[in-house]
Amino acid sequence: MGYTTSADVDKILKSLSLEEKISLLAGKDFWETVAIPSKGVPPIKTTDGPNGARGAFFSGGTSAACFPAAVCSAATWNPALSRQVGNALAEEALTKGARVLLGPTACNHRHPLGGRNFESFSEDPVLSGTLAAQVVRGLQERGVAATVKHFVANEQETDRLTVNEIISERALREVYMKPFEMIVKEANPWAIMTSYNKINGIHADSNPFLLERVLRGEWNWKGLVMSDWGGTNSVAESLKAGLDLEMPGPARLRTIDAVTKAVKEALVSRTMIDCRVRNLFELMKKIGAFENPDNPPERSVDDPAHQQLIREVAGQGIVLLKNENNILPMTKENVKGKKIALLGLAKDALIHGGGSASLQPHHKISPWHGLCSAYGDTADFQYAKGAHTYRQLPPLVDHCVDSIGGNGWTFEIFDKGKQIPSSKRHGFRSASFNPLSPEVSVRQKSICLSSTYAPAATGSHYLSLSGIGPTKVFINDDLVFEQTEDSPDAIAFFFGGGDVEEELTFPFTKGQLYRIRIESSPPTGNHEPDSILAGLPGCRLGFMEAEEHDQDLLASAVDTARRCDFAIVFTGHTHVWETEGQDQASFNLPRDGSQDRLVDAVASANPNTIVVNSTGVAVALPWLFKVQAMVQAWFPGQEAGHAIADVLSGSVNPSGRLPISWPKRIEDAPAYGNFPGVKEDGQRTVRYDEGVFVGYRHYDRISPETVHFPFGFGLSYTAFMMKYASVTRDSESRFNAKITVTNVGPRTGATVVQLYVGRTLKSPNHPIKTLAAFQKVFMESGASEVVEISVSLKDFAYFDEASGSWKVDRGEYDFSFAQDAVRVESVVTLHVEGSRTLKL
């Protein structure tokens, strides 16, 4: 049957049997949908994710461009760049044979410990919605479908599959659903992914209020709704609510037997089945799948234009938070002949968070590499690690020989104690097995890794062990290490963070050989038995030589810093510390305070200490008062080191502004005490008792002194002044706001005009102010520009639960022009007639 862009969907639909239609309601495998070639139904290939198109393999696949994390993109406050990122992500997806990208992520930052915050844009729904909408536009104008996720309120990873979130309708509408509403109305995404969690007792995938009443009803959206991977929780209920596609495949709940039974029992109608399939076909039409049904092989294309875009976005997203005595920029002239200590994570490229955002980058530029490249021989760079930052000991890789004499390990699979002959593999890279990308099925089977190890040094070296299920380690056939229970957090194991592992020492002698065997069983307790990960075994054996493990890294770093003219300490989270699957272990930087001790000691030894921090969240800063400068680099993508060097050297004037508030204490965070909720009788419940008072809306009410840096904050190597503000009414519902911005500093640079609106007469039921609009402006030194911003009533309306409508009450309103949520430059007070019923 021929494939055309104008495929007759109705004709194809009528040709399908009920069983064939049902088969289309769930995926074929982990990434693709079911195809029925004989009836003209092509497959669709999807790919992660929000900051790069990984392709089908979690590890070992084709390389891909790694773009800055969404929080870094949000820090640019530049919608035009987000559109360009969407264009580039589409081009990347096509190199992976995929025409549906699983992103962007539009959930809000509710709490600083949210494990997946980095993957989302902001604590503010207007900033999030504006930038995410541009990513969607950029993707879809290149023919690749965006899949906006996770609808809705996926703000924590703890018990994410089952947690019940109690959220008022007002908070849902004004904070958590608003970015999605903006995206739907401004960019019309072709697909939306539901979240794992329950909202007010009902899972998102089966929630008629979210999917039927609001998304398809009030918002009149016509696209495809798919589940998060393993996030389908019912058969009839999800079909009726509006979930079109269960992912991944093969079908876990939507089997042909289960859906046929639901039809026979009149729980689901044939018309409803047709509706769900039609939505899938409409997506196929939009992405050109009928015309081009084949999914081409994956390719690695390292596009120079993408490299430059990543570097530009990262450069605009990096935020200068402190700059005492103008120690920055460190121009070549300023540091010529100087010694500069690069400490901490200077040789680590912290380019992305863990989980769906992980990928194999085309390359990754560390700060060390970037700074050496930027400065050449101008400065004398010296390096010291300074702190252990690992979460687990690295897996044993080197000096291992498999059973046929090759480098590595021998891997085997056992079914009820009998080895599966075809499963034996040699040259397995390390003492670690993660079943996310197995070549053979391992579900409900046991695995074994074995090798002969020849230690490079004599000593009582360190070992650690973790497994998804019960796991044992034998050395020379003696049991030396055993985990008897299932992993308490299997999801974390899959996404590379893993459990906190107990360490032990074992005496090794150089010149002797040691037979090491790891035996790991599938989990016995079947935590989350309906999960797509249930029954999968996995294990890892960590190893570190005693000399490296016990080395006093701090003393060496302090000595290096003391000898140098400047000290730059690189801190942050690796992707195993900040990852999907787990919320943050602590508000302090890992590991066990090692990074905080490093910064404090270095700052005591060198008065010219600068900190460059790479996290997707705010962290504790107990040493902030001791350092001269601080730069927040986020997870800036594969060009990280280049972008950081651009800002430190002054070739890029920092223009990033915080998309989040940065509290001094975790106890002052708005959701403190209600994150990640409480667990009773096996069910975790989290109450969003802070309501609409999220982020700066909360800190405005308590005290600006509770934050190190407010929402919207960022320094520059120049300075800007705003004056001559005015606000006039353009129509019954729209206002025109103007202000003159002048660059009064010595350099070309950029600032963000942030317009907040709030009631002049303060009310405990409403935020003091909310971000209504913003505009980034680039200006030469000495230049002035009149910036005009259009604002409508809907931009500062509130949702009235009693009437079920959006409203703006009659009264006086302050239009505040600001460079951050605290630094208000000018206020215009205007009488607003208001409106009792508004449609966004």
Distance between CA 670 and CA 110 in Å, rounded? 8
Rounded Cα distance between 384 and 561, Å, is: 9
Per-residue CA distances from 795 to 658, 699, 755, 763, 827 (Å): 21, 21, 11, 18, 17
β-bridge partners, 545: none
Give the pairing of strands 678-680 and 683-687.
antiparallel
The C-alpha atoms of residue 750 and residue 320 are separated, in whole angstroms, by 13
Edge-to-edge strand ranges of the sheet holding 811-818: 770-779, 749-759, 811-818, 824-832
Element (H, E) at 307: helix 304-317
Longest Cα–Cα distance in the chain: 86
For residue 411, report the phi and psi dihedrals to the nearest 5 degrees. Answer: -115, 135
- Report the candidate in 756, 750, 767 with the shortest Cα–Cα distance to residue 814: 756
Q: Provide the total of helices (H) and of strands (E) in the chain, helices listed first.
A: 20, 40
Q: Are 800 and 806 in contact (CB under 8 A)?
A: yes
DSSP label at 8? -
Tokens 């069910």: give the residue. 683
Residue 807: beta bridge partners? 798
- At 449, which amino acid appears? L
Q: What is the DSSP string of 696-754?
A: HHHHHHH-GGGEEE-TT--B-SS-EEEEEEEEEESSSSEEEEEEEEEE-SSS-EEEEEE
What is d(CA 571, CA 589) in angstroms, rounded to the nearest whole number? 8
Could you give the CA distance from residue 195 to residue 419 in angstroms, rounded to a whole number? 39
Report the DSSP beta bridge partners of residue 609: 567
Q: What is the DSSP string of 308-369?
A: HHHHHHHHHH-EEEEEGGG-----HHHHTT-EEEEEESTT------BSTT---BS----HHH
Q: Among 48, 124, 159, 228, which one carries the catalytic annotation? A: 228
In degrees to the nearest 10, what's the CA dihedral of 129, 131, 135, 138? 110
Helix H, strand E, coil C: the string for 495-513 is CCCCCCCCEEEEEECCCCC
Q: Is 228 a catalytic residue?
A: yes
> Hey, is 7 helix, strand or coil?
coil
The angle subtended at Cα 226 by Cα 222 and Cα 229, nearest 5°, is: 165
Nearest to 819 by CA among 725, 703, 711: 711
Quick one: tokens of 416? 């009820």
Distance CA 394, CA 596 (A): 22
Whether the CB-CB separation of 131 and 121 falls below 8 Å is answered with yes
**Residue 317 and residue 601 in contact, taking contact as beta carbons nearer than 8 Å:** no
Gap between the Cα atoms of 829 and 835, Å rounded: 18
139 burial via Cβ count (<10 Å: 0-12, 13-18, 19+): buried
The residues that are catalytic are: 228
